[in-house]
Amino acid sequence: MDQSLNDFQISLKEINFLSPRVNHGLELIFVINGEITVEIDSRFYVLKEQDLLLINRNQLFQVKGNGGNSVLQLNITDAFIDQYYDEYRNSRFECYSQEVDMGREQMLNNIRKQLVQLMISYCRRDESYRLEIQSYLCDILLNLIRGFKHKGSAFEKLDTNDYRLSQIIEYLERNYHQIITLEDMAKKFYLSTSYLSRYFKQKTGMGFSRFLMNIRLKHSVKDLLYTNETISQIAMRNGFANTKSFTTLFKESYGVTPHVYRENHANEKIDSFESYPLEDAEQLIHSTEILRKLGIVLNKLDQSYRNTESRFEELTLDLTKPIYKEIARPKHVVIVRELKELLKDPVRKQLLMIKEDMRLDYVGISNLLRGETITADVETDEVIATSSPYFKADISLNFLKKNDLSLFIRIDYQEITADEDNNFKKLAAFIKHCLQVYGSSYLNTWHFLFYEPYYTAVKDEELKRVYMKLYHLLKKMVPNVKIGVFLPFSFEDEKTTESHKWLLTEGDHIDFIGYHSNQNDVVDFKELNDKRFNMTQDYLKEKTAKVKAYLKKSGIDKPLHLVSWNTLSGNTRFTNGIFFRGALVLKSVLDIVNEVESIGFWINTALHENDSNGQRIRIEGMELFHYFSGKRPAYFAMMFAKRLYGTIISQGFDYVMLQNDRGYQLVLMNCNTINPYYSVEESLLQKLNKEILVKIRGLEQGEYQVRKYIFDRDHGALYTKWSNLNSKHGLDREIIDYINRSSHPKLEIFDETITEEWTFHSYLTLNAIHFFEIRKAIL
């Protein structure tokens, strides 16, 4: 077991009852919300939200709570404190938030903050959590020693005016569990044995050995009544030579054996704490609600408080040995749900904006046959009908063709087989109409994807039958049109389902393969310590490689289309909004640009949610716009991807550098694959920020203009400004327009003279992108 975890115990609990117990070590109780009553040595402490109480070693305590409380408990062991603080056993600490001395409020707040930070580190358990925990434990103890320390209670019961006696009693109280003889004590205090014996009896009224035995018996009585340890364990813990001597001395003092005393007095002692049960009634809080509660606590303690810890890294790029690799440009598909959506002016504007800023090749649609794209025929007595079932489709297709955009059409098995014969006729009529109006050269650019999801009751032969019928119909009418099939693929099992294995034998009738990749599918967001969060760091890259390898085994080498995907985002709109992931999006795309034919996106949140038919939105798609045309992080990440041009000369896990006709480009990313629920309070994530010292050798010498774009949650993400400008009275169009206008990456300009090695620092917050244009000046 990790030794650092033996130094303390920490938990967040809902407490109904904690039965009487003798405390070992120092116990800190911090109420996050709700109310509890703590009884220590017959005194009652009522603790409410934000209250903090310390229980000293060897104090008897018990707790009663109301319903729905959340209590953070930390116990620091005697052994840990003894290592670093010699005076521990002779000290007590008076730390109760309702009775704190003036001038000690900030020290109390420091302890509260350190408790919360320790809990967060304990939950996260990243690579440095052991060091963080040790640091927080020591900080807590330092605050207690410097602000809340008092002399040990043993001095209050004895003649403490005699300094020598105080020193002796202090030693006995601290070391009673060890072997101690009169001779040893006389040597330690430079006295003769006979003098110490007389002196001790005169001052305390009893002999040295009897006094020491009473100290040991006092502690043993507490252990007998309030622990489940055996008689033998209690004897050894309290410094008795063996069980027999302990039993003899105990019976001499109390008239009965330790065992009988425990039986006779247990009920009596418990009865003195009225209404408290014998057994604990408590429940650990494991849910992600922990993080929200702790984030609120940090804000309440100090609105200006920020943990400025960050990682420091050095990045050295030697351009005298460039790698020279071309950067690929996969096509982009933007899904709009149905073709009729292109009748809406806002959708058209968004598509044209995407085409300009991040490139656009295909518009993805579904529900072609059962949606509203093709209207029903209207009975008429006209020889030549003046109305057409394709008038909506034609308006949309005219817009696409005018702007050099093609169609990526998803045909669902369930959609086409709902009325199979009629739907195939409907599809054939639509294709015939489009050939007549737009010509085969335009339809040759279209893609049709046959789709049936991973979980299906449809047999493989049935799927194959319908696909082949679709394939032959389309190829007969438009021979060069691209027809593909969706491949459900398990990341862990590295294979498809039995219902979809048929496609492995039909490579001659498949033009491309569509697949899906979503890290959210393989993690449990309720488990804060789920190791899968770290395992999915390169999920998209690894899944793409696994899909290609799987197909290759069956001799299938077809273009791959990433039709839907996502980074970690959480499973609600709440976390999806506040968890900034710009670097995760860009890195994922850069990882696969050489492996796929196209990458798919949803145009906006509104259409994506409408596609869910009122159900909870699936987090399978990467959306480019929020409501009201606010740009989401994926939009800006893909803008940077488009901006890259030239030849890659250096590349690593979280950076890439290119050379082009204007100079150089450098992208730095701070990629962190963590549970998005940690983003509920930014101060919880400060230690994931990264400061990089960049050293670049081999740049062409001369004058440069450096343009630095900063894209992070404060520069480009909607949520920060949306939150800052929110109001209980709502947002109007003016506020929303301002949020959208002001939510964009920050630009900084520097003039640099580069001679030999160029060095600079860059501070990146969580999942931030820093994009550098290093342009050679024309003199």
Residue 89 domain-assigned (yes or no):
yes
Q: In this structure, what CATH number is given to the domain that contains residue 752?
A: 2.60.40.1500
- d(Cα 777, Cα 779) in Å, to the nearest integer? 6
User: Cα-Cα-Cα-Cα dihedral of 635, 641, 643, 648, to 10°?
Assistant: 170
| pLDDT tens digits along 464-514 | 999 999 999 999 999 999 999 999 999 989 999 999 999 999 999 999 999
737-758: b (≥16 Cβ within 10 Å) or e: eebbeebebeeeeeeeebeeeb
Does 604 reside within a domain? yes
Q: Residue 338 and residue 364: Cα distance in Å, rounded? A: 8
Structurally, how many domains does the chain consist of?
4
- Structural domain includes residue 297: no
What local confidence, expressed as pLDDT, does residue 370 receive? Answer: 83
Q: What angle do CA 641, 646, 650 make, to 5 degrees?
A: 85
Q: The domain spanning residue 137 has which CATH number?
A: 2.60.120.10
Sign of CA dihedral 539, 542, 546, 548: positive
C-alpha dist (Å) from residue 288 to 16, 126, 530: 21, 17, 12
Residue 295 lies in a domain: no
Question: pLDDT at position 688, please?
Answer: 81
**Is residue 65 in a domain?**
yes
Q: How many helices (H) and strands (E) does the chain have?
A: 26, 29
Name the DSSP class of 685: G
324-360 pLDDT, tens digit per residue, is: 999 999 999 999 989 999 999 999 999 999 999 999 9
Q: Is residue 343 part of a domain?
A: yes
Residue 222 is part of a domain; what is its CATH number? 1.10.10.60
pLDDT value of position 156: 34
Check residue 480 and give its pLDDT.
97
Which tokens hold the place of 673? 């694959």
Binned at pLDDT 50, 70 and 90, residue 572 comes out as: low
Q: Where are the beta strands (DSSP E) in 527-644?
A: 560-566, 598-604, 623-625
φ and ψ at residue 563, rounded to 5 degrees: -80, -30
Together in a domain, 691 and 561: no
Mean pLDDT of 446-458: 93
Tens of pLDDT, residues 27-56: 999 998 899 999 876 567 899 988 999 999
Residue 280 lies in a domain: no
pLDDT in tens, 619-672: 567 899 987 788 999 999 999 999 999 999 999 999 999 999 999 999 999 998
Q: 568 and 494, same structural domain?
A: yes
Residues 564 and 592 in one domain: yes
**To the nearest whole percent, how much of the chain has pLDDT over 90?**
47
- Domain extent at residue 346: 328-642
Average pLDDT on 141-146 reads 91
Task: Give the chain's mean pLDDT.
Answer: 85
**Are 611 and 741 in the same domain?**
no
**Class of residue 493 by CB neighbours under 10 A (exposed 0-12, middle 13-18, buried 19+):** exposed
* Cα distance between residue 392 and residue 375, in whole Å: 8
622 and 657 in a common domain:
no
- Which residue matches tokens 């001095």? 155
- Indicate whether 759 belongs to any domain: yes
Q: Which residue has the higher pLDDT, 406 or 296?
A: 406
The predicted structure's pLDDT at residue 622: 87
Judgement on whether residues 351 and 477 belong to the same structural domain of the protein: yes
Tell whether 505 and 573 lie within a shared domain.
yes
636 and 661 fall within a common domain: no
